[in-house]
Structure 1
Protein backbone atom coordinates (compact mmCIF):
# COMPACT_ATOMS: atom_id res chain seq x y z
CA UNK A 1 0.00 0.00 0.00
CA UNK A 2 1.27 3.46 -0.88
CA UNK A 3 -0.06 6.90 -0.18
CA UNK A 4 -0.10 10.22 -1.94
CA UNK A 5 2.17 12.40 0.19
CA UNK A 6 1.25 15.91 -0.97
CA UNK A 7 -1.12 18.00 -3.00
CA UNK A 8 -4.87 17.87 -3.47
CA UNK A 9 -5.13 14.19 -2.51
CA UNK A 10 -2.55 14.20 0.28
CA UNK A 11 -2.92 11.13 2.51
CA UNK A 12 -4.98 9.09 0.02
CA UNK A 13 -4.02 5.42 0.25
CA UNK A 14 -3.56 3.41 -2.93
CA UNK A 15 -3.88 -0.33 -2.46
CA UNK A 16 -2.63 -2.32 -5.43
CA UNK A 17 -3.52 -5.99 -5.96
CA UNK A 18 -0.89 -8.34 -4.57
CA UNK A 19 -0.49 -10.15 -7.90
CA UNK A 20 1.07 -7.17 -9.71
CA UNK A 21 4.77 -7.66 -10.54
CA UNK A 22 5.86 -4.37 -8.98
CA UNK A 23 8.11 -2.80 -6.39
CA UNK A 24 6.51 0.57 -5.62
CA UNK A 25 8.74 3.47 -4.64
CA UNK A 26 8.75 3.78 -0.86
CA UNK A 27 7.15 6.83 0.73
CA UNK A 28 10.56 7.79 2.17
CA UNK A 29 12.25 7.71 -1.25
CA UNK A 30 9.27 9.35 -2.96
CA UNK A 31 9.27 12.21 -0.46
CA UNK A 32 13.00 12.77 -1.03
CA UNK A 33 12.56 12.73 -4.81
CA UNK A 34 9.70 15.21 -4.72
CA UNK A 35 11.61 17.54 -2.40
CA UNK A 36 14.23 17.76 -5.16
CA UNK A 37 11.69 18.11 -7.97
CA UNK A 38 9.86 20.89 -6.09
CA UNK A 39 13.01 23.00 -6.42
CA UNK A 40 13.13 22.57 -10.21
CA UNK A 41 9.55 22.52 -11.45
CA UNK A 42 6.13 24.08 -11.14
CA UNK A 43 4.15 20.87 -11.52
CA UNK A 44 1.18 22.70 -13.09
CA UNK A 45 3.39 23.69 -16.02
CA UNK A 46 5.17 20.45 -16.98
CA UNK A 47 4.58 17.37 -19.09
CA UNK A 48 5.68 14.05 -17.59
CA UNK A 49 6.52 10.59 -18.88
CA UNK A 50 6.39 7.82 -16.26
CA UNK A 51 8.21 4.74 -17.61
CA UNK A 52 7.85 1.34 -15.94
CA UNK A 53 4.85 2.91 -14.21
CA UNK A 54 3.88 -0.21 -12.23
CA UNK A 55 1.06 0.80 -9.88
CA UNK A 56 1.12 4.43 -11.07
CA UNK A 57 2.41 5.57 -7.68
CA UNK A 58 4.57 8.41 -9.06
CA UNK A 59 1.95 9.48 -11.60
CA UNK A 60 -0.70 9.89 -8.89
CA UNK A 61 1.70 11.96 -6.83
CA UNK A 62 2.36 14.24 -9.80
CA UNK A 63 -1.35 14.61 -10.58
CA UNK A 64 -2.13 15.38 -6.95
CA UNK A 65 0.47 18.16 -7.07
CA UNK A 66 -1.19 19.76 -10.11
CA UNK A 67 0.51 18.17 -13.11
CA UNK A 68 -2.04 17.99 -15.94
CA UNK A 69 -0.16 16.04 -18.63
CA UNK A 70 1.16 12.63 -17.60
CA UNK A 71 1.82 9.60 -19.77
CA UNK A 72 2.32 6.34 -17.85
CA UNK A 73 3.91 3.41 -19.70
CA UNK A 74 4.05 -0.20 -18.57
CA UNK A 75 4.07 -3.46 -20.50
CA UNK A 76 2.02 -5.43 -17.98
CA UNK A 77 -1.70 -5.37 -18.87
CA UNK A 78 -2.73 -5.81 -15.20
CA UNK A 79 -0.63 -2.79 -14.19
CA UNK A 80 -2.12 -0.69 -16.99
CA UNK A 81 -5.66 -1.70 -16.03
CA UNK A 82 -4.98 -0.90 -12.38
CA UNK A 83 -3.60 2.55 -13.25
CA UNK A 84 -6.59 3.31 -15.48
CA UNK A 85 -9.11 2.20 -12.82
CA UNK A 86 -7.32 4.11 -10.07
CA UNK A 87 -6.98 7.27 -12.17
CA UNK A 88 -10.70 7.08 -12.95
CA UNK A 89 -11.67 6.60 -9.30
CA UNK A 90 -9.51 9.50 -8.07
CA UNK A 91 -10.50 11.81 -10.92
CA UNK A 92 -7.22 11.79 -12.86
CA UNK A 93 -8.55 10.07 -16.00
CA UNK A 94 -8.25 13.24 -18.13
CA UNK A 95 -4.76 13.96 -16.81
CA UNK A 96 -3.19 10.52 -16.92
CA UNK A 97 -2.82 8.72 -20.24
CA UNK A 98 -1.86 5.05 -19.93
CA UNK A 99 0.12 3.28 -22.66
CA UNK A 100 0.65 -0.47 -22.61
CA UNK A 101 4.03 -1.02 -24.25
CA UNK A 102 7.53 -2.29 -23.69
CA UNK A 103 9.41 0.84 -22.59
CA UNK A 104 12.21 0.84 -25.17
CA UNK A 105 9.69 0.25 -27.98
CA UNK A 106 7.59 3.13 -26.71
CA UNK A 107 10.58 5.47 -26.42
CA UNK A 108 11.71 4.61 -29.96
CA UNK A 109 8.31 5.50 -31.44
CA UNK A 110 7.24 8.45 -29.25
CA UNK A 111 7.68 11.95 -30.64
CA UNK A 112 6.65 14.23 -27.76
CA UNK A 113 8.98 16.24 -25.55
CA UNK A 114 8.71 15.95 -21.76
CA UNK A 115 9.95 18.20 -19.00
CA UNK A 116 10.30 15.28 -16.61
CA UNK A 117 10.85 11.62 -17.42
CA UNK A 118 10.73 9.14 -14.55
CA UNK A 119 11.87 5.55 -15.01
CA UNK A 120 11.58 2.89 -12.33
CA UNK A 121 12.69 -0.35 -14.02
CA UNK A 122 13.15 -3.65 -12.20
CA UNK A 123 16.36 -3.64 -10.18
CA UNK A 124 17.87 -6.30 -12.45
CA UNK A 125 17.39 -4.04 -15.52
CA UNK A 126 20.49 -3.95 -17.74
CA UNK A 127 19.55 -1.52 -20.52
CA UNK A 128 20.02 1.82 -18.75
CA UNK A 129 22.50 3.08 -21.33
CA UNK A 130 20.28 2.22 -24.29
CA UNK A 131 17.25 3.76 -22.58
CA UNK A 132 19.11 7.04 -21.96
CA UNK A 133 20.55 7.09 -25.48
CA UNK A 134 17.13 6.56 -27.07
CA UNK A 135 15.49 9.27 -24.92
CA UNK A 136 18.23 11.73 -25.94
CA UNK A 137 18.34 10.64 -29.60
CA UNK A 138 14.56 10.95 -29.98
CA UNK A 139 14.67 14.35 -28.23
CA UNK A 140 12.07 13.27 -25.69
CA UNK A 141 13.71 15.25 -22.87
CA UNK A 142 13.28 19.03 -22.85
CA UNK A 143 16.47 21.12 -22.75
CA UNK A 144 15.88 22.12 -19.13
CA UNK A 145 14.24 18.86 -18.11
CA UNK A 146 15.32 15.89 -16.03
CA UNK A 147 15.39 12.18 -16.64
CA UNK A 148 15.28 10.42 -13.26
CA UNK A 149 16.16 6.73 -13.06
CA UNK A 150 15.30 4.82 -9.88
CA UNK A 151 17.58 1.90 -9.05
CA UNK A 152 19.12 0.07 -6.13
CA UNK A 153 21.82 1.89 -4.22
CA UNK A 154 24.52 -0.52 -5.46
CA UNK A 155 24.00 0.43 -9.13
CA UNK A 156 26.34 3.19 -10.31
CA UNK A 157 25.21 5.13 -13.39
CA UNK A 158 27.56 8.10 -12.96
CA UNK A 159 29.68 7.04 -15.94
CA UNK A 160 26.78 7.42 -18.38
CA UNK A 161 26.48 10.43 -20.66
CA UNK A 162 24.30 13.32 -19.41
CA UNK A 163 24.64 12.18 -15.77
CA UNK A 164 23.88 15.07 -13.41
CA UNK A 165 23.73 13.69 -9.85
CA UNK A 166 22.63 10.77 -7.68
CA UNK A 167 20.61 10.85 -4.47
CA UNK A 168 20.32 7.91 -2.09
CA UNK A 169 17.35 7.12 0.16
CA UNK A 170 17.98 3.96 2.12
CA UNK A 171 18.39 1.10 -0.38
CA UNK A 172 16.96 3.23 -3.21
CA UNK A 173 18.86 5.67 -5.42
CA UNK A 174 17.74 8.21 -8.00
CA UNK A 175 20.15 9.10 -10.79
CA UNK A 176 19.38 12.39 -12.52
CA UNK A 177 20.27 13.05 -16.15
CA UNK A 178 20.07 16.43 -17.86
CA UNK A 179 20.86 18.18 -21.13
CA UNK A 180 21.17 21.58 -19.47
CA UNK A 181 24.95 21.62 -19.07
CA UNK A 182 25.43 20.94 -22.78
CA UNK A 183 23.47 24.02 -23.75
CA UNK A 184 25.49 26.39 -21.54
Structure 2
Protein backbone atom coordinates (compact mmCIF):
# COMPACT_ATOMS: atom_id res chain seq x y z
CA UNK A 1 0.00 0.00 0.00
CA UNK A 2 1.56 3.26 -1.16
CA UNK A 3 0.72 6.91 -0.54
CA UNK A 4 0.59 8.44 -4.01
CA UNK A 5 0.77 12.17 -3.31
CA UNK A 6 1.22 14.87 -0.71
CA UNK A 7 3.70 15.18 2.14
CA UNK A 8 4.30 11.43 2.36
CA UNK A 9 4.27 10.69 -1.37
CA UNK A 10 5.85 7.34 -2.13
CA UNK A 11 5.73 6.11 1.45
CA UNK A 12 4.74 2.46 1.72
CA UNK A 13 2.56 1.26 4.58
CA UNK A 14 2.31 -2.46 5.28
CA UNK A 15 -0.81 -3.62 7.12
CA UNK A 16 -0.68 -6.86 9.09
CA UNK A 17 -1.86 -10.03 7.44
CA UNK A 18 -5.29 -11.35 8.21
CA UNK A 19 -7.30 -8.14 8.17
CA UNK A 20 -10.72 -8.64 6.51
CA UNK A 21 -10.13 -6.09 3.78
CA UNK A 22 -10.06 -5.54 0.03
CA UNK A 23 -7.97 -2.38 -0.31
CA UNK A 24 -8.54 0.02 -3.16
CA UNK A 25 -5.70 -0.57 -5.62
CA UNK A 26 -3.05 2.12 -6.10
CA UNK A 27 -4.15 2.62 -9.72
CA UNK A 28 -7.81 3.06 -8.76
CA UNK A 29 -6.87 5.32 -5.87
CA UNK A 30 -4.75 7.53 -8.13
CA UNK A 31 -7.64 7.79 -10.60
CA UNK A 32 -10.06 8.68 -7.78
CA UNK A 33 -7.85 11.43 -6.41
CA UNK A 34 -7.28 12.86 -9.87
CA UNK A 35 -11.04 13.37 -10.06
CA UNK A 36 -11.27 14.86 -6.56
CA UNK A 37 -8.33 17.14 -7.30
CA UNK A 38 -10.43 18.83 -9.99
CA UNK A 39 -13.09 19.69 -7.41
CA UNK A 40 -11.24 20.37 -4.16
CA UNK A 41 -8.21 21.87 -2.53
CA UNK A 42 -7.53 19.14 0.01
CA UNK A 43 -6.16 21.23 2.86
CA UNK A 44 -8.50 21.47 5.85
CA UNK A 45 -11.25 19.34 4.31
CA UNK A 46 -13.32 17.41 6.82
CA UNK A 47 -13.32 13.75 5.72
CA UNK A 48 -15.42 10.71 6.64
CA UNK A 49 -14.01 7.35 5.53
CA UNK A 50 -16.57 4.54 5.90
CA UNK A 51 -15.60 0.87 5.84
CA UNK A 52 -12.09 2.27 6.23
CA UNK A 53 -10.31 -1.10 6.33
CA UNK A 54 -6.54 -0.55 6.37
CA UNK A 55 -7.02 3.23 6.30
CA UNK A 56 -5.66 3.41 2.74
CA UNK A 57 -7.94 6.27 1.66
CA UNK A 58 -7.65 8.11 4.98
CA UNK A 59 -3.85 8.22 4.75
CA UNK A 60 -4.05 9.65 1.24
CA UNK A 61 -6.28 12.49 2.42
CA UNK A 62 -4.04 13.09 5.44
CA UNK A 63 -0.91 13.23 3.31
CA UNK A 64 -2.58 15.92 1.20
CA UNK A 65 -3.40 18.05 4.26
CA UNK A 66 -7.03 17.18 4.92
CA UNK A 67 -8.07 17.48 8.54
CA UNK A 68 -9.87 16.26 10.54
CA UNK A 69 -10.45 12.75 9.21
CA UNK A 70 -12.80 10.20 10.75
CA UNK A 71 -12.25 6.55 9.81
CA UNK A 72 -15.01 4.10 10.67
CA UNK A 73 -14.74 0.32 10.53
CA UNK A 74 -16.35 -2.54 12.41
CA UNK A 75 -13.18 -4.60 12.74
CA UNK A 76 -11.02 -4.11 15.83
CA UNK A 77 -7.81 -5.05 14.01
CA UNK A 78 -8.40 -2.47 11.28
CA UNK A 79 -9.14 0.30 13.77
CA UNK A 80 -6.07 -0.59 15.82
CA UNK A 81 -3.84 -0.46 12.74
CA UNK A 82 -5.24 2.91 11.62
CA UNK A 83 -4.58 4.33 15.07
CA UNK A 84 -0.99 3.04 14.94
CA UNK A 85 -0.31 4.60 11.55
CA UNK A 86 -1.98 7.88 12.51
CA UNK A 87 0.23 8.08 15.59
CA UNK A 88 3.40 7.22 13.66
CA UNK A 89 2.82 9.85 10.96
CA UNK A 90 1.05 12.40 13.16
CA UNK A 91 -2.07 12.23 10.99
CA UNK A 92 -5.21 13.89 12.37
CA UNK A 93 -7.26 10.71 11.97
CA UNK A 94 -9.83 9.57 14.51
CA UNK A 95 -10.36 5.83 14.04
CA UNK A 96 -13.70 4.60 15.35
CA UNK A 97 -14.80 0.99 15.78
CA UNK A 98 -18.47 0.94 14.85
CA UNK A 99 -21.01 -0.60 12.55
CA UNK A 100 -21.14 1.94 9.72
CA UNK A 101 -24.93 2.16 9.66
CA UNK A 102 -25.11 2.67 13.42
CA UNK A 103 -22.51 5.41 13.09
CA UNK A 104 -24.46 7.18 10.34
CA UNK A 105 -27.70 6.97 12.32
CA UNK A 106 -26.11 8.73 15.30
CA UNK A 107 -23.74 11.10 13.47
CA UNK A 108 -24.28 14.82 14.12
CA UNK A 109 -21.35 16.10 12.07
CA UNK A 110 -21.29 17.10 8.40
CA UNK A 111 -18.34 16.50 6.08
CA UNK A 112 -16.80 17.88 2.90
CA UNK A 113 -16.02 14.44 1.46
CA UNK A 114 -17.56 11.13 2.45
CA UNK A 115 -15.91 8.03 1.00
CA UNK A 116 -17.43 4.56 1.41
CA UNK A 117 -15.89 1.28 0.27
CA UNK A 118 -18.32 -1.41 1.47
CA UNK A 119 -17.63 -5.10 0.79
CA UNK A 120 -18.60 -5.74 -2.81
CA UNK A 121 -20.72 -8.70 -1.68
CA UNK A 122 -23.27 -6.55 0.11
CA UNK A 123 -26.64 -6.46 -1.61
CA UNK A 124 -28.06 -3.59 -3.64
CA UNK A 125 -30.36 -2.37 -0.86
CA UNK A 126 -27.46 -2.07 1.56
CA UNK A 127 -25.52 0.17 -0.82
CA UNK A 128 -28.64 2.27 -1.38
CA UNK A 129 -29.10 2.62 2.37
CA UNK A 130 -25.70 4.30 2.66
CA UNK A 131 -26.76 6.98 0.18
CA UNK A 132 -30.14 7.50 1.82
CA UNK A 133 -28.73 7.82 5.33
CA UNK A 134 -26.09 10.36 4.34
CA UNK A 135 -28.64 12.68 2.75
CA UNK A 136 -31.45 12.07 5.22
CA UNK A 137 -29.09 13.01 8.06
CA UNK A 138 -27.60 15.99 6.17
CA UNK A 139 -24.09 14.66 6.66
CA UNK A 140 -22.67 16.13 3.45
CA UNK A 141 -21.76 19.82 3.30
CA UNK A 142 -23.38 21.93 0.59
CA UNK A 143 -20.37 21.93 -1.74
CA UNK A 144 -19.23 18.47 -0.68
CA UNK A 145 -19.07 15.14 -2.45
CA UNK A 146 -19.79 11.55 -1.51
CA UNK A 147 -18.01 8.71 -3.28
CA UNK A 148 -19.00 5.06 -3.09
CA UNK A 149 -16.74 2.35 -4.49
CA UNK A 150 -18.59 -0.72 -5.78
CA UNK A 151 -18.59 -3.44 -8.40
CA UNK A 152 -20.26 -3.26 -11.80
CA UNK A 153 -23.07 -5.44 -10.44
CA UNK A 154 -24.25 -2.70 -8.09
CA UNK A 155 -26.23 0.15 -9.65
CA UNK A 156 -26.47 3.51 -7.93
CA UNK A 157 -27.09 5.89 -10.81
CA UNK A 158 -30.83 5.96 -10.04
CA UNK A 159 -30.29 7.33 -6.54
CA UNK A 160 -31.09 10.87 -5.49
CA UNK A 161 -28.14 13.28 -5.79
CA UNK A 162 -26.23 10.92 -8.09
CA UNK A 163 -23.86 13.00 -10.23
CA UNK A 164 -21.52 10.80 -12.30
CA UNK A 165 -19.48 7.58 -12.34
CA UNK A 166 -15.92 6.62 -13.08
CA UNK A 167 -15.07 3.03 -13.87
CA UNK A 168 -11.68 1.44 -13.52
CA UNK A 169 -11.33 -2.26 -14.24
CA UNK A 170 -13.76 -4.11 -12.01
CA UNK A 171 -14.33 -1.14 -9.73
CA UNK A 172 -16.74 1.75 -10.11
CA UNK A 173 -16.73 5.03 -8.21
CA UNK A 174 -20.17 6.65 -7.96
CA UNK A 175 -20.15 10.34 -7.08
CA UNK A 176 -22.98 12.19 -5.34
CA UNK A 177 -23.45 15.94 -4.93
CA UNK A 178 -26.23 17.94 -3.33
CA UNK A 179 -26.89 20.09 -6.41
CA UNK A 180 -26.72 17.24 -8.95
CA UNK A 181 -29.60 16.50 -11.31
CA UNK A 182 -31.55 13.28 -10.79
CA UNK A 183 -32.49 12.90 -14.46
CA UNK A 184 -31.05 9.63 -15.79
CA UNK A 185 -30.50 11.32 -19.15
CA UNK A 186 -27.82 13.42 -17.51
CA UNK A 187 -25.96 10.42 -16.11
CA UNK A 188 -22.32 10.57 -17.03
CA UNK A 189 -20.35 7.32 -17.08
CA UNK A 190 -16.69 7.48 -17.88
CA UNK A 191 -14.27 4.59 -18.23
CA UNK A 192 -10.79 5.32 -16.98
CA UNK A 193 -9.51 2.41 -19.03
CA UNK A 194 -9.96 4.51 -22.15
CA UNK A 195 -7.70 7.36 -23.06
CA UNK A 196 -9.40 10.72 -22.92
CA UNK A 197 -9.34 12.61 -26.14
What TM-score do the two structures reach when normalised by structure 2? 0.88
**Alignment gaps of 5+ in structure 2:** 182-197
Query: Which position in structure 1 is the counterpart of 2:2?
Result: 3
User: C-alpha displacement at 1:162, in angstroms?
Assistant: 1.2
CA RMSD of aligned residues (A): 1.0
Kept in 2, the 8 Å contact 1:118–1:147? The answer is yes
Query: Which position in structure 2 is the counterpart of 1:58?
Result: 57
1:105 and 2:102 matched:
yes
When the two structures are aligned, how many residues end up with a matched partner? 179
Kept in 1, the 8 Å contact 2:162–2:180? The answer is no
SS at match of 1:25: coil
Bigger relative contact order (CA 8 A; separation at least 6): 1
SS at match of 1:3: coil
Kept in 2, the 8 Å contact 1:145–1:180? The answer is no
* Equivalence map 1:110-121=2 (5 Å): 110-121=107-118
Q: Structure 1: how far apart are the matches of 2:67 and 2:180? A: 27
Query: Which position in structure 1 is the counterpart of 2:33?
Result: 34
Q: Structure 1: how far apart are the matches of 2:35 and 2:118? A: 20
User: C-alpha displacement at 1:157, in angstroms?
Assistant: 1.2
User: C-alpha displacement at 1:125, in angstroms?
Assistant: 1.6
Query: Which position in structure 1 is the counterpart of 2:145?
Result: 146
Q: Structure 1: how far apart are the matches of 2:61 and 2:180? A: 26
Query: Which position in structure 1 is the counterpart of 2:83?
Result: 84
SS at match of 1:175: strand
Q: Structure 1: how far apart are the matches of 2:152 and 2:85? A: 30
User: C-alpha displacement at 1:178, in angstroms?
Assistant: 1.1
Query: Which position in structure 1 is the counterpart of 2:160?
Result: 161
**Alignment gaps of 5+ in structure 1:** none
Query: Which position in structure 2 is the counterpart of 1:123?
Result: 120
